[in-house]
Every structure is written in structure tokens, then in C-alpha cells.
Structure 1
Amino acid sequence: MKTEHATELSIVFPGEGDHLPCVPSTFVIGSAPPGANVVVNGLPARVHQDGGFIVSIPIEPGRFAISCTATLSGRRLEQTVTVQVAGKREPGPSEECWLDEGSVQPSTDRALRPGDRLTVTCRGTPGAGAHFTIEQLVDGAPMAEMPQGLPRPADSPPPFVFGADLSPFAEGEPGLYVGTYIIGPDDRVRDGRITVSLRGEKGSRAEAEARGRLTVTSPPIPELAETQSPQTVVRTGPGMGYGAILPSGVIVEITGKVGNECRVALSGTCQGWVDERSLTALPAGTPAVMNQIAAIRTTSTPEGAAVAIPMDRPYAVLVAERTDRRILHLTISRAVAHLDWARYGPEEHLVGEIIWQQVDPQTLEVELFLEEAIWGYRAAYEDPGFILHLRAAPPIDAARPLLGRKLAIDAGHSPEPGAVGPLGTLEKDVNLAIARSLDQMCRERGASTTMIRTGDEAVPLTRRPEIAREAGAEILVSIHNNSVPPGVDPERHNGFSTYYWHPHSLALARSIHGRFAGMLGLPDFGLYRANLAMCRPADMIAVLVEPAFMIVPEQEALLRTAEFQQRCARAVCEGLEAFLISELERTS
């Protein structure tokens, strides 16, 4: 990329009208003429020799102005942007009892069953008496003030992930009230209203109604649905993190609902949450017939092995990879063991032992003990039922470890820009430059490569792993460059980082991370197990790398040079080779 210097003042982030989360500070980046003195809201910014600048400033809830000036040789440039910072109005004095109507939860409708718990929260005058009422169920149930704060929202990563703090709670502020109601066996209500009330010390009172309403039922007939998407996301709670991925056609039982997310029973003791748009309701009265598992057998395949478990109906099978990539744990829902046989196929040497246990009346657990570490697995519902395809390590040439290896290289983002640097450098362009260099280096070493994008074409995120899969990729490497959210100081927390999800990808992530440490000359931002879309493919080794920070001026300047782009690619390439050699040594 051509080196360019800023000639005018430009704030790149935050932009005019941006909405920022409820955090005490944000970074501001932009560009000014090289050598200028830049001040943002009274604080001096650090200006790189190319003119890119960065500074962290305190912010306050509501409409907030960010004013920037740059002075150089008597010339003065000015720019102001106005942003909206999320936050709460401060409660009034205790004698003027006040309640933030927008804070009342639940904010979406709930459909619950007996035994479930409903949590009601609100914010208002500290030290007040707080109660909640659920129409037709309970009147004046007590709420307790929680001065330590509430758990962070699901869409707000805790700052300790980036090294900022260790608290799972939002910043403590008084006036947060929480109450819980346990649904009783005889409780029934449809669209019941939920209200909260506060009473101040001098008798003043405030009341508000939650936007969400409550329905309680206890249907005698199971409500069954079928997954639609080949990548149906099962979350651990409403709006929470990923718990599992199910293919299309899997039958689940719906046992509750929060907003547009359905609670589904995955086994006798395990449940998850699925977006209702990913489910198709089965006809009323569809029986929840149990599968009787009568046999398990293994066969040899060109990639490794296949483990077949015949079953009549496609219920959820959860697969968990255990220590050293040599144990796979299967949790089979709505299944009862009728097992007297497990057959190890001729010429199949990957699966060493199969054991099973009926852990509750509806759940069968199967463990596969493998003779060697795998490079991935793929769960599928095929004739005669559930089949787990295992990918064994391929043969590796000691002299040319990349020879014959099938790689997919993903240049992150496009058409959206990704992170943007102080000088306006687009992450998608830098990612593509590094990916092209990596592609060339790997091809020169004998690898067969697939570039998931070769230019500025739009490739949907969900389509990218499919392209790698269709190309027969054994290894997927996704190239990105980093930023942090508002509230985290990028001048303190920056550098290179590497990400993986499945245990069979950890060794490669460590190998590349080690090469970054030795070759890039940047701070170590960390090695992460991260639930990212490009790390989630289970049927190959998949990692995502972030060699540097787009938003730090010095690192943006490096990323704009062909020399540093090639150094990043070389670090990944050498990390790949070192990983392959270690795999060869492990299997020798």
C-alpha cells in the first residue's frame, strides 16, 4: 500500500451520530497533518509521524460532543462529532421516588412452565421499598436492591477478556432491584401484565409496567419442532453464548419461550435456546417416540473412520471433544440403550474402544476412545441414522511438510470494511494482502490452496466455511486484524492474537502464535479459545489470526507496508509447517 500522509483533520472513530455503549471512556482515532498538536476534549492525543492519532477520553451518558483541534505552524483545524452514549438517568432524591420505566425487565414476552423462575428487575430511587406484581399470580412480591450491579448484557463482552478488569458485573450503581417468582404447579395465565412499584422514605410512590408479558401453561402433549438450518445455533440461554450447532432436520421439544427464542429439551437434563425462525413446528400430536439404540459399528473411510449409530428418528446428538483430541463424548437425546453389540470394522484402526452408559431415562452417553489424535469430525444424519465421520491426520512429508496439504485461506470481511485505522486504512484490504502473500508462500511449498475471496466480492460469513468444506480443506486459516470496543484502551491492550474453538485446532493456534511472538515485534494480545464463526467448523482444523491492531497508529503504519504484510504471512506459513512437523513426530 502507498504511504500517505494526512493533510486535514479527520475523526475516524467515533463517527457522527454513532451510538456507544454505557462505558466510562472511549478511544478516539483519526488523522491530522503530520507534526500537528492534536487535542480532543482537552486531552492531548498521540500523533504518529504519518498523522494518525489516538487518545482515550472520558464520556458521559446521553448526547455527547467530541471536539478535536489540530494546530500546526499557526494553522488551526477543528472538528466536532456528536455521539449518543447509552446510560441511565440518575435517580432523584429519595423523597421524590423515581423509577426508570425503560429499565423494567422482562422487556420481551415469556412463555414458561411450572417450576420455571421469572426474574423481574428495575432501576430507580436507591433505598426504596420495591415490589412486583404478576397479573393473576402474585401481588406485591418483594424485590431486593443489588448495589453490586447486575451481570453484563449478553452482547457486552466483559472487559477482562481484553485484560481490563475481572468483574462479571456492570459497574456498581445504587438503585438496582431484583425479584424472582417460581412458577407454581397450578399457576396459569395468558399475557399476564408485570408491574413494579417503588415506595420512598416519605411515602412517595412510582410504578411502571414491563414491556414483556407472561404466559404460563402446562400442555399435556409435547410440542415438537424440526430444525431448518444446516447450522442451527443452540444457545446456553436467551441471547447467551453458543452451546451447540445442530444440522437441519433434528427434532426437538419446545418447553418455553423468551421473546423470539424457544427453549428446547436436548436430553433428560440438558436444554438450550433456539431462534424460533430456525424451527418448523411439527403437526400437533406428533409423538415423541424414543429411539432404541441396538448397535454401534465403525468402518474405515478414505479420511479416517465413520461411526454409525442406527436410529429411527433424528433427535439431538451433542458431540464433545476431550483431552488430547483422542476422546469423543456423544450425548444422545431421547434414546434408550438396547445395546449388546458394538462392531469394530475390518481395516478400521482409528477407533480403539467404544463404551456407553444410560445416564437417565432419556439420555444415552457414548464415548469413543481413539488410537490417535484427529483433525476433525462431522456429524450427519444419514442412512441408517446418525453417523460421525472422523478425520485422521494425513500423511506428512518430513522434508516438505506442506506438500499435498489442502488449505483454505480466508481474508476476513468484504464488502464491509472491518476495522478502520486512523488514516482510513480498511481492514478488509489489509487482510486480503496478507492472505494473497500466504497463498503464494503455501503454494510454493507444495500446498493445494483455496482463497475464499480473491477481491472485494461479497462472501457471506455463513458461506465461507462451506467453500472450505467443498474444496476438501484440511486446514482453514482466517486472516483478520484487530480492534477493541469502546471502554477498552487500545494503547494498553493491543498486539497480535490467535483464536481457535475445537481442541483439535489448538496445536496449530499455538504454533502460529509462537511465530507471531518471534517475528512481529508487537505485544502479545493473547491466545484465545473463541466461539467465532470461522473457528467453529468441526470437520477441519480451523484458526483465526489477528497479527496487529488497525486502530493503533504505529501498527496501522506497519500493516500498510508490503514488508510487514509478508512478515505476517511468513509467520503463519512457518507456524503451519512447524505444526505439521510436530504432527509427524507425534504419529511416528
Structure 2
Amino acid sequence: MTARRAALAALLAACAPTARERAPMHAIPSPVARGALPPIPFVDGPLALDVVYPPEGASIPPVPRTFVFGSTGSGRARLWIQGVRVPVAPNGAFLAFLPLPPDGVWRLEAERAGIRQRVERRVRVERPAVLRSTGGLEVWTETVEPRGDWALPEGAPLAVGVRASAGADAVLRLADGRELPLEPRPAWARVEGFGPERAERLAELADYRGLVPAGAALRGAALVLRRGPDRLVVPLPLRLELWPAETAWRAHVLGRPDDGQALATPAPPPAAPYHWLWPTGTELVVTGRREGAWRVRLVPGLEAWVDTAWVRRGLAGAAPPSAVGAVRLQPDSEAVVLRVRVERRVPFHVEADIRRVRLRLYDAVARTNWAYEGPADPFVAGLRWEVGPGPTVDVVVDLAEPLWGWRAAWTSDDALELRLRRPPRVDPARPLAGLRIAVDAGHPPLGATGPTRLREADANLAIARRLVRLLRADGAEVVETRPDTTAVPLTLRPVRATRAGAHLLVSIHNNAFPDGVDPWAHAGTTAFYYHLFAADLARCLQRALVHALGTRDLGVARADLALPRTSWMPAVLTESLFLMLPDHEAALRDPAVQERIARAHRDGLLAFLRQRLGGGPPCAPAPVTRQAPMPRPSRPPSGPS
């Protein structure tokens, strides 16, 4: 289990209510306002106890509570899990949120008309790997860093750290006997992503951190903790390949097979969001390697990490900073092209807001004398260049009309062309007419499954097909990234939308929770964007969905997701309902609710177009749904007799 999951488990344990505080399962209301979704239809089939989650042998983090869901086959059935009475929905579905069984075995018993069925589900509860001394010192061994295969030039800085008992003296003991002290810092467990961010101080633990130069003495090094007479020694799990000092390699982006891009992160893998998107031909300076990723130097003090499969390493040695020559804007009917002359195809970053685009060229120096705005264009308000921090050059384009998207490519004569897409021209009376809309039915592969085994991919496709019909009726041309049940690779979906020249992209999903998150406390509706110029589209879709469904408004969020990362158009991923809740799953089976969700997506697209292109109000958050207070139990539910 990773350190992050262990920390999550610790925080959830600290925040979990006691049994006396917890309402019985049948008394916990759904987050959907009363009457917002149709009642769950009644089903009275034969007793058939089916546990959807967890599957047999599932690995569960050590959270204090988690969910179990499935179906009994009948709304007349009664159900107990671990001796606790669990409500059964009219269609036979159930969802429980209960303490993890100490022995790792969930025991379920269902009864209908005198017939009983019992099912057991064995799970493996993950525990943090802890090394303890006889005196009580402990180290969370999976937090020891660095670990695995690394390659670095000699003398390059390398972060060292570990989570261990508080109040200890921690040092890194090198193979030559030298000891380098590590600084203690407070240890925190954090929960992010569902509901408000929460943090809990882990008073008995501390994070010990330091920075050391890469060298031969790290081979065979160990972390040593001392507290009084007690001592604990943990070998550093590092396999280090040393390069001569200041070693660097030139490399060229090959890109992914689907779109020719390489995506780079600001921190080593595995857990870091993508921040840079580089087209084929971009030249990089490689200064290290870790577990399948190259370390790339952008400027001194700033590095990126990129998958080794997307890059071809070339000649040894780094090139001098690239001179940036003339910059110019060249208009065409679809976009204004920013053309930047450079000596070398350096890495770059594009920051694109609605009215301003900033192109930052790394490892570059300004030799720019001419900045051509070109002929007067209603889309452009101004062009300028600036010397950025370090050896960087910024080229800034101010826009008089809203940016609709961008994409970058290298030309054969080593110029970077950044296409800035104009807003489409629409009919105010029929905003969708003539536009090309990409509709993505999320999954497969992967996807959630509900208590009665409704697959998310099927629900998404049913909604998407209804949305396609509505959009075509309004005059739009529709690009379906997954028109049927055939699985479509995730990376291919945005490529299809971009190649088709879509003006908008919406990816339709329904949500699920990770273990340990209370599904009743955090269920609702949300929409995700990646690029700033797509944030208003997320807000408009979010408002329309919350208004149509009456769900809790979880708000919009920026997230590093494959479909919203599409840069050639505003792109948003929606999560309308939570498939694991019985009433949400039943609603997603209902053709009338599918139609309601599809219409909400259509309405959100219309609201965005009216707002962005003039004449429409901003998409403010929907009014908050008021709910009845949660009732408190008078006594705990009893087990089966």
C-alpha cells in the first residue's frame, strides 16, 4: 500500500463518527431532493443475493468504514450484513456503509418468504508496511525515498525522506560512514477530491526530509533513526546509475501513437498531473531517469518528467539557449496563427485564458526585433514579447474576442506555429445550428457498476444517444467518439474530436467513490475542465444538470483528465449521478431520466454559447437544494433471528 493511501486511511479514521453518532442505514436520506428523481420501481423476483462490491479477494485500504452494495432480487427481501439490518430498495438493491470486518470477511444474509441465503466475501485489508524497533520506533517503509532505478549526473541534488516516529534524530548514513541530518516536519494526512479538503495532524509521526548530492556513497546508504538508546536502521532501496557530472543528453519528442504528443509532469512518476503538452519534434535536454521517465531540464531550477516511450534520446551534451527571432500573426478563416522563429525546437508552455494567450519558450534568449501583428483583425487586440524568468522568452497575444482553442506544431523550417482558434459564428436564434459537437459516451474500458449491475458505459451511451438526437434536431453536426458498445481507447477519443474539427466536446459520465468515502455525505453532480477557456462551459453544464436533477451541487473543478485536456475546443467531462446509490442507478435505467440528463447537457451547451458569444447571462451556481435534517437512531438495528 502506498504512503498516500495509508495517510488517507489514518485521516478517515480520525474523522469517522462513532457508532452512537451514526444514523441507521434506513434513516440516511439520499442527497437528491425529495421528488427530484422518480421513485425506485418495485421488483419482486426470486431471492438472489448478489454482491457487486467488493468482489472476492478485493484489496481494501485500512479505512474505518467502507461500502458494500449489490441486490437481493426482491424489494420484499430483508438483509443483514455483519448482523446489521440493511435497508433493501424496492427493486432489491442495497448499499451499506459499515465498519470493516476485523477478520476481512463480509457476511451477508438475506431472507424472503422464509427462504434464506448467505454469502461471504473475503477481502484483503491493506496495512502500512511498518518496521518497528524493540523500543517502539517505527518507520513506514513505503515512504522511504528515493527508491527504485535512478540515473543522475554525479552531484545532482536528490531528495531523501521518510515518515517515521516523531521526536527522533534522523540521518542518512552514507556508505563511507558520513551522516547527513534530515529535518523533521509535521506529518499530515490529507483527503482531497470528494467534498471539502480535510487535513489531520499525525502527532505520533513526522516527515524527515533532506537534499543530498548524487554520488557513489549513496550505494549502500541507509536511514538511521535514534531516540534515546533506541535505534532503527532502514537500507535505502535505491539502485543508482551515476553519470559524469553535468552530463546531459539531447532528445526528441516522438509522441504518443494516437496524437503525436508527449505529456510531461512537474514531478517524478507515478502521482503527478500533466502540465506540458509537446508536439513531435520538440527538442529536450535529458538530465536523469527514474522508473521509465526521463528528467528534462527546462531552465535551471525547473524540470519536467516525460515517459521514455515518447522520447528518442540522441547526442550527448546540451545545446546553448535558442535564439528567438521574429514573431508574427498570420490570420486565416479558422484561426490566427502565431508564428515564432527559433534556432532550436525548444520546449514550451501555453497558458490560454479567454482573452489572453501566453506562450513561454524555455531555454531561450530574445533576439526578437520584429513583432508583426499583421493586418487588422477583429480577433486580435495586441501582440508583444517579454523576457521571462531564467532563460525564457514569453510571447503574449491579447484577444478582442473569446479564444476557442489552440494547438501547436513545428514547421519544416523550425518555426513554432501556435494556432489560436476563432470563436464560431452562430445564429443567435439557433446557436447550435451549423456547429460541430463531439459527444463522448464515457467508457469502456473500465467504468463503474451499480447495485443491480447497470454498467456505467451502458448508461453513458443511452444518455449520449439521446443528446445526439437533440443536438441534430437543433441543427448541429455531431461527432460520436463512441457511437456503440465497442470499446474505444481513451487517448483516441479526443483525437477523433480534434480531427473532426469539433467546436465543443462533452464527455458523459456517472460517478463512483473510492473505499472509505461516505456515499451519502458526498454524492452529487460535478463537471470537470482542464483549460481555463473551458471553465465557463463546465459552469453552464453544471448549473443545467443540478437544476434538472435536484442533486447536491459539488461545483466545477479543474482536473487533469484525458478528454478535458483537449486543447482545440472547450471540452468538459460531466458526472451527473453516482451509479452506486440505488436511487441514482434506478434513475439511470429510466428513459425519462436519461432524457432529462440529455436535455440538461443540451441546455448547458446553449447557455454557454449565448454567454460566450454575447447576449446571455453568466452561468451562476444553481440554487442550493434544502434537505430535511438527518434523523437520529433511537436504538441500533438488530441482527437476524
Q: Normalising to structure 1: TM-score of the pair?
A: 0.89
Distance 2:368 2:616 in 1: 33
Q: Is the 8 A contact 1:3 1:560 kept in 2?
A: no
Q: Give the 3 Å change call, closer, same or farther, for CA 179–497 of structure 1 in structure 2.
A: closer
Distance 1:311 1:359 in 2: 16
Q: Is the 8 A contact 1:24 1:60 kept in 2?
A: no
Distance 2:183 2:107 in 1: 42
Match of 1:496 in 2: 525
* Bigger relative CO (Cα 8 Å, ≥ 6 apart): 2
Partner of residue 49 from structure 1, selected from 90, 106, 124: 90
Match of 2:264 in 1: 234
Distance 2:612 2:87 in 1: 45
Partner of residue 377 from structure 1, selected from 406, 410, 414: 406
Match of 2:220 in 1: 193
Once the two structures are superposed, the pairs formed by residues 76-475 of structure 1 within 5 Å of their partners are 76-88=116-128, 95=135, 101-113=141-153, 114=155, 116-121=157-162, 123=164, 129-136=169-176, 139-143=178-182, 148-149=187-188, 159-163=191-195, 165-167=197-199, 172=202, 174-176=204-206, 178-183=208-213, 188-189=215-216, 192-199=219-226, 201=228, 203=229, 205-215=231-241, 217-229=243-255, 230-239=260-269, 240-285=272-317, 288-322=319-353, 325-346=354-375, 348-360=377-389, 362-384=391-413, 385-414=415-444, 416-475=445-504
CA shift, 1:207, in A, is 2.8
Match of 2:600 in 1: 571
Partner of residue 29 from structure 1, selected from 61, 69, 78: 69
Q: Give the 3 Å change call, closer, same or farther, for CA 365–270 of structure 1 in structure 2.
A: farther
Q: Give the 3 Å change call, closer, same or farther, for CA 473–4 of structure 1 in structure 2.
A: farther
Q: Give the 3 Å change call, closer, same or farther, for CA 122–347 of structure 1 in structure 2.
A: closer
Distance 2:389 2:184 in 1: 40
Once the two structures are superposed, the pairs formed by residues 503-582 of structure 1 within 5 Å of their partners are 503-582=532-611
Distance 1:223 1:92 in 2: 43
User: Helix, strand or coil for the counterpart of 2:613?
Assistant: helix
Distance 1:303 1:586 in 2: 23
> What amino acid does structure 2 have at the position aligned with 1:208?
V
Q: Where does the alignment leave 5 or more consecutive residues of structure 1 unmatched?
A: 151-157
Q: Is the 8 A contact 2:250 2:314 kept in 1?
A: yes
Match of 1:20 in 2: 60
> What amino acid does structure 2 have at the position aligned with 1:282?
G
Q: Give the 3 Å change call, closer, same or farther, for CA 587–75 of structure 1 in structure 2.
A: closer
Q: Give the 3 Å change call, closer, same or farther, for CA 220–578 of structure 1 in structure 2.
A: closer
User: Helix, strand or coil for the counterpart of 1:492?
Assistant: helix
Q: Is the 8 A contact 2:109 2:118 kept in 1?
A: yes
**Identity, % of aligned positions:** 31
Distance 2:374 2:227 in 1: 74
Distance 1:100 1:353 in 2: 55
Q: Deviations over 1:481-530 (max 9, x none)?
A: 11111121111111221111112111221111111121112222321111
Larger mean CA deviation between 389-398 and 92-101 belongs to: 92-101
Distance 2:138 2:433 in 1: 70
Q: Give the 3 Å change call, closer, same or farther, for CA 349–456 of structure 1 in structure 2.
A: same
> What amino acid does structure 2 have at the position aligned with 1:302?
S
User: Helix, strand or coil for the counterpart of 2:537?
Assistant: helix
Distance 2:571 2:162 in 1: 41
Q: Is the 8 A contact 2:221 2:236 kept in 1?
A: yes
Q: Is the 8 A contact 1:267 1:332 kept in 2?
A: no
> What amino acid does structure 2 have at the position aligned with 1:227?
V
Q: Is the 8 A contact 1:190 1:215 kept in 2?
A: no
Q: Is the 8 A contact 1:109 1:212 kept in 2?
A: yes
Distance 1:74 1:5 in 2: 15
> What amino acid does structure 1 have at the position aligned with 2:355?
R
Distance 1:351 1:552 in 2: 49
CA shift, 1:68, in A, is 1.6
Distance 1:288 1:91 in 2: 47
Q: Is the 8 A contact 1:336 1:361 kept in 2?
A: no
CA shift, 1:214, in A, is 3.8
Distance 2:140 2:321 in 1: 49
CA shift, 1:115, in A, is 5.7
Q: Give the 3 Å change call, closer, same or farther, for CA 457–557 of structure 1 in structure 2.
A: same
Q: Give the 3 Å change call, closer, same or farther, for CA 98–543 of structure 1 in structure 2.
A: closer
User: Helix, strand or coil for the counterpart of 1:518?
Assistant: helix
Distance 1:473 1:19 in 2: 41
> What amino acid does structure 1 have at the position aligned with 2:251?
A
CA shift, 1:117, in A, is 3.7
> What amino acid does structure 1 have at the position aligned with 2:585?
E
Q: Deviations over 1:153-211 (max 9, x none)?
A: xxxxx5342115422x7x7263555241332xxx632871231234565x454433232
Q: Is the 8 A contact 1:307 1:387 kept in 2?
A: yes
> What amino acid does structure 1 have at the position aligned with 2:338?
V
Distance 1:77 1:174 in 2: 45
CA shift, 1:122, in A, is 5.0
Q: Is the 8 A contact 1:121 1:179 kept in 2?
A: yes
Q: Give the 3 Å change call, closer, same or farther, for CA 143–73 of structure 1 in structure 2.
A: farther
Q: Give the 3 Å change call, closer, same or farther, for CA 504–5 of structure 1 in structure 2.
A: farther
Q: Is the 8 A contact 1:252 1:315 kept in 2?
A: yes
Q: Is the 8 A contact 1:194 1:214 kept in 2?
A: no
CA shift, 1:31, in A, is 0.9
User: Helix, strand or coil for the counterpart of 1:320?
Assistant: strand
Q: Is the 8 A contact 1:149 1:172 kept in 2?
A: yes
Q: Give the 3 Å change call, closer, same or farther, for CA 510–204 of structure 1 in structure 2.
A: closer
Q: Is the 8 A contact 1:235 1:244 kept in 2?
A: yes
CA shift, 1:330, in A, is 1.0
Q: Give the 3 Å change call, closer, same or farther, for CA 71–210 of structure 1 in structure 2.
A: farther
Q: Is the 8 A contact 2:175 2:217 kept in 1?
A: no
CA shift, 1:445, in A, is 0.5
Answering whether residue 89 of structure 2 is matched by residue 40 of structure 1, we say no
Larger mean CA deviation between 111-120 and 450-459 belongs to: 111-120
Distance 2:117 2:279 in 1: 56
User: Helix, strand or coil for the counterpart of 1:17?
Assistant: coil
User: Helix, strand or coil for the counterpart of 1:555?
Assistant: helix
> What amino acid does structure 2 have at the position aligned with 1:438?
L
Q: Deviations over 1:206-238 (max 9, x none)?
A: 433232234555534532111221221211101
Distance 1:134 1:356 in 2: 48
Q: Deviations over 1:449-468 (max 9, x none)?
A: 01111212121100001111
CA shift, 1:327, in A, is 0.7
Q: Is the 8 A contact 1:411 1:431 kept in 2?
A: yes
The count of corresponding residues between Structure 1 and Structure 2 is 568
Aligned-pair RMSD on alpha carbons?
Answer: 2.8
Q: Where does the alignment leave 5 or more consecutive residues of structure 2 unmatched?
A: 1-39, 618-641
